[in-house]
Structure 1
Amino acid sequence: MNPAKNLRVAPMQTSGTHNFIERIYRESGPFQWARETGGKNSIEAGATRVEFGIEWQAVAAKGVYRRTIADNGSGMTPDQLVAFFNTFGGGGKPIGGVHENFGVGSKTSLLPWNRAGLVVVSWVDGEASMIWVAQDTVTGEFGLRLFDAIDPVTLQCTREDVVAPFDDQEAGCDWAAIKPSWMGDHGTVIVLLGNDLNTDTVTGDPRGKESDLRGIAAYLNRRMWELPPNAEIYVQELNTTDTAKWPRSAKEAHGPVSVGALDKRVNVRQINGAKHFIEYQKKGFRKGRLGSSGVVELSDETKVHWFLWDGERPAVQSYAALGGFIGALYENELYDMSTHAATYRSFGISESAVRSKLWLVLEPPKYNDQKKAGVYPRTDRTSLLMGGGKDAGSPLPLTDWGAEFSDRMPEDLMTAIRAARKGGAGSITDVTWRDRLAERFGSLWRIPKLRVANGGAHATNPTQQGGVPRTKTVRPPKPKPKPKPARPGGKGGLVGPVNIGPPKGSSPARLSKVGGGIPTFRLVDSAEIGEKWVLASWQPNAPGNPEGVVLINVEHPVIEAGIIRWQELYPIHHAEAVREVVTQAYGEIAVAKVAHSEQLKALIPSRRIDDVLRSDESLTMALLGLIAEEAVISVRLRKLGRKKKSA
């Protein structure tokens, strides 16, 4: 039986929504509720002012400090309040919309730690309506509290889910009086009650990670890219975790301080967004400024906005990001933020002096259902995922984006990297080692580059020498040749015509894998590596070194102990020469291991080799054990002459 063309169904009913709410809550991050309420819903409601405040009536009546979120947006009618707060996916937008979560986020991020309820009072044209969303103590379900009310016409007792705000002696609050003076005739106030009516919700979610008194400001100033030009967001912050020193009234929190009295006033901090603090121009500050910025567009239309600071940074404290970070920009919000050295290395930047003053904001295209490509947010809004194709549902391809950005590194960043580099820019200098590595692995070490070619689908401006590609010709069969020695590796762009270049340019080109020579190594300190325990770190995307660089941590305890041990065996005037031999040996052996792993690409995927076999953990473990290193070091130190005589 074929279904009818105009098939209709009864909508599937949902039960046990509290299980979904609890699950999404467990996956969400700290202060997610601040984004969902004041940072998102209030702005979408047209608010020009949002304030995360403190409800002072309960402070006076019960000594309880409750967090409030107030805005002067459009407000909600009784029907709109019910539709939004008592429907999982309410608010007029579907739960399943790939770019939507309106009506889900505020509930999932607030209700699990406010089981006693959220009181919501909303004004439209000066008329107030109130609901109380709480958890049923018997079923565990979340929903609207039912109030006993008297119909003014029939005088009958009814049960209502929307009522006029009233004076609530049990909660210690007249709900009609929570409206702030700046609101006007339209707006909404949400009061967080916690898990019981005696909970201090001003300190945030008690599950942890929200104990920072400046946490809301710090979160919003990192999460929001920039605020709409007509919107302002403020946060009232207590100045101490000592409850005995908290203000006991709004007057004590905002008024003047009496002579000799303890200052208990709260901070009222304005939120400015992440972009403001990147471009930060503090009045009178002349020790530093935003030096340069720009945009690099990648092949998949992802835009990399980069910002490089010059000089010292103004004091930002903990209410915003002081130094550089890498993050993804989506609908005016930042996701997947990282300050980790490994993330920067994937974009070709390992120098700590550059990392601390460089921001990379990645703006990928939004998911398009027709193109089956782009990004969309996870349900809990904590990170972005790829949509469409073989990578659907996977995290952002930071490694791929980093490799392409490294190839197109802006000149200002290259200049900063060169200026920041310190320590040895090492390479394999021992002729025997270099020849042996080139013979065994050089032919395998191929790097994808654009080579000038008529009719090519790409374009480039050639900047590097490269060999002329072979032309295939049809020849008669020949006797099987005798085996020949392995072909040595490429010369790393040192010979041949200038026909290799980066993406974008005026000359037609084809993508080709060219010989890149053997990887190099560079001696760095632990700050540049990012982790003290890491002995060696592979940086495949290295500006100026397309074949890649191994970073050797010369401050690692293993290397430092080895240097001291060998220095004790030779006269003191050889101390620096011993240090050079030891660090050079570790660099060369690390390069050899990375080069040797190239042979495994015939057996396992290339990405796994870079992500696993060449990871910080694997390279560090591979350089422990001392036997190989000691053998190389002992031979090379013979040129220093005799060892010291033992005492």
Structure 2
Amino acid sequence: MNSIQASASRVDFTTDWQGVQNTGVYRRLVVDDGCGMSASQLESFYGAYGGSGRPVGETHDNFGVGAKSSLLPWNKYGMVLVSRRDGDESLVWLRYDDRTDTFGMRLFPTGEGQEAAVEPFDATNTELGVDFRALLPAWVEGSGTAVLLLGADPLENTVLGDVVSGRDQGSEKGVIDYIHRRFWDFPNGFTVTFCELPHDRDAWPRSTINGGTEPSVLRHHEVRGAQRNIVEATGNSRLVDSGTVTLSNEVTVHWFLGGKRRSNPVPPMHTNGFITVLYQSDNGAPPEMWDFTQSPYRYRRFGISEKEVRDRLFLVIEPPRFDPGEGKFGVYPNGARSQLLSAGSGFAGSKLPFPEWGEEFAASCPDAIVKALRSARDDETSSSSDYTWRNRLAEKFGERWPILRSVSDQTGRTTMLPTTEATPFR
């Protein structure tokens, strides 16, 4: 999001191959070609919480703590930023100081004392094995910014995320999937690329150079946002139908119904349907997806109970943003930016009204979805007449689930009503 607001056209999530070649450590490197930051801007933006340089604190503003609060806790050894603006490159190193139990900027000795923002320097001969002067790649021709995550110690791999708290992704597909679950769409002309390492860590390459070409084990993805994946349907199935349903309080539900799923979808792609809420924080920021879920319970709220339909139906709810001056219904994020709340028209800091939204949607369910539901139910009915599965179940569990049955016998001691079902005596 910061890259978009910096007018970048490209963001790369990649690996710092200098560190790999020199120390065998795989560190996450994120690079964009945005407007960059000067030395004074780096010190101002990253020297304190809330110093993002953008409006903060209002209902739909941010608090300028996103990168600092999400990255620094598991990168105590540091987070290095190198930025180029107007031809000048500057570096700052944020890290944890165990003496003061605080995060702050590392100070470097200079001819004029100590400075937090300095020119990038060569640290190849240190335990990091990185020349910070080379962090910005050749495709960043003008301004741009590179962020290198150092982890909790110099020998920690950071490409997979937060290992310290156990929230690492296990593989880089988790990072790709997170972006698809978070961002609905990106502006035209803006590209996010991701260089994915193999799932087997033993197969991770030690260099990107292999006879002048990149090794075949690396995969490059364009992370396009959820909307393009659904509409273009390159990995899931052909899009059968789509449309919108308007609910009360100017809430819109965009729905997308895919066809039968392919057995091997092309990653990265949502292989199953989901329900989410769209929210756009401020002008220039891409719409984000909140309350993302694939829960059958949430689908049933919207009248969708058949799994076959759930798996290929995407419901994207777009409520209006809350305007305190108007008092009409709308949504806004809580103070921690972890949850969307609703306000206006009888709502006051309440949870999102999914039950009401679901009831309204179910009452005016589009014909294409109704048809798909009926078809799924017909398929269930026809398949239930096949007793093969019952016989298999009986073979496996019949002795554990005995059923008492009555058989007519003239010498029997139990009296039964004539209407009671029984197996005739033979």
Normalised by the length of structure 1, the TM-score is 0.57
Deviation at 1:128, TM superposition (A): 0.2
Corresponding residue of 2:139: 182
Q: SS of the counterpart of 1:215?
A: helix
Deviation at 1:72, TM superposition (A): 0.1
1:308 aligns with 2:257: yes
Instruction: Give the alignment partner of residue 247 of structure 1, picking from 187, 195, 205.
Output: 205
Alpha-carbon distance in 1 for matches of 2:86, 2:362: 56
Instruction: Report the residue type matching 1:300 in the other structure.
Output: N
Distance in 2, matches of 1:314 and 1:564, equals: 36
CA distance in 1: counterparts of 2:7 and 2:418, whole angstroms: 77
Spell out the pairing of 1:99-138 with structure 2 (5 A cutoff): 99-101=60-62, 103-138=64-99
Q: Counterpart of 1:501?
A: none
Number of the residue aligned with 1:271: 223
* Change over 3 Å in CA distance of 1:424–1:271 after alignment to 2: closer
Q: Secondary structure at the match of 1:196?
A: coil
Return the offset for 1:641.
Answer: 4.1
Counterpart code for 2:219: N
Aligned to 2:59, which of 72, 76, 98? 98
Q: 2:196 aligns with which of 213, 237, 249?
A: 237
Matched, 1:375 2:331: yes
Select the residue among 113, 118, 133 that pairs with 1:163: 118
Structure 2 unaligned runs (5+)? 281-286, 385-392, 409-415
**Is structure 2 residue 140 aligned with structure 1 residue 191?**
no
TM-fit CA distance, 1:133: 0.8
Find 1:328's aligned residue among 277, 280, 296.
Answer: 277
Q: Which amino acid aligns with 1:320?
A: M
- Is residue 296 from structure 1 mapped to residue 245 from structure 2 by the alignment? yes
Per-residue CA deviation, residues 28-79 of structure 1 (Å, 9 max, x unaligned), is xxxxxxxxxxxx1111111101001111112222211110110000000111
1:510 alignment partner in structure 2: none
**For 2:24 and 2:6, how far apart are their aligned partners in 1?**
33
Percent of aligned positions with the same letter in both sequences? 38
Tell me whether 1:411 sits opposite 2:331 in the alignment: no
The structure whose RCO (Cα within 8 Å, separation 6+) is larger is 2
Aligned pairs for 1:430-445 (under 5 A) are none
Instruction: Say if 2:301 is the partner of 1:341.
Output: no
Residue 35 (structure 2) pairs with residue 74 (structure 1): yes
Q: Within 2, Cα distance between the matches of 1:124 and 1:641?
A: 87
Residue in structure 2 matched with residue 221 of structure 1 by the alignment: 180
In structure 1, C-alpha distance between the alignment counterparts of 2:213 and 2:157, rounded to whole Å:
22
Distance 2:148 2:107 in 1: 18
Q: Which has the larger radius of gyration?
A: 1
Structure 1 residues 60 and 371: CA distance shift in structure 2, 3 A: same
- Asked whether the 8 Å contact 1:323–1:356 carries over to 2, the reply is yes
**Contact 1:289–1:313, Cα closer than 8 Å, also in 2:** no
Please name the residue that 1:61 is paired with. 22
Give the Cα separation in 2 of the matches to 1:277 and 1:46. 24
User: C-alpha separation between the residues in 1 aligned to 2:117 and 2:407?
Assistant: 87
Distance 1:277 1:254 in 2: 33
Does structure 2 conserve the Cα–Cα contact (< 8 Å) formed by 1:366 and 1:376? yes
Secondary structure at 2:238's aligned position in 1? strand
- Rounded to whole Å, the distance in 1 between the matches of 2:225 and 2:377 is 32
Helix, strand or coil: the match of 2:185? coil
The alpha carbon displacement at 1:291 in A equals: 1.3
TM-score normalised by structure 2 residue count: 0.85
Select 2:159's aligned residue among 199, 202, 209. Answer: 202
5 Å matches for 1:475-514? Answer: none
TM-align CA RMSD: 3.1
The equivalent of 1:454 in structure 2 is none
> Which amino acid in 2 is paired with 1:231?
F
Confirm whether residue 357 of structure 1 aligns to residue 312 of structure 2: yes
**2:413 alignment counterpart:** none
> Per-residue deviation at 1:93?
3.1
CA separation of 1:394/1:315 partners in 2, compared to 1, >3 Å: closer, same or farther?
A: farther
| Among candidates 40, 45, 50, match of residue 6 of structure 2 | 45
CA displacement 1:462-505 (0-9 Å, x = unmatched): xxxxxxxxxxxxxxxxxxxxxxxxxxxxxxxxxxxxxxxxxxxx
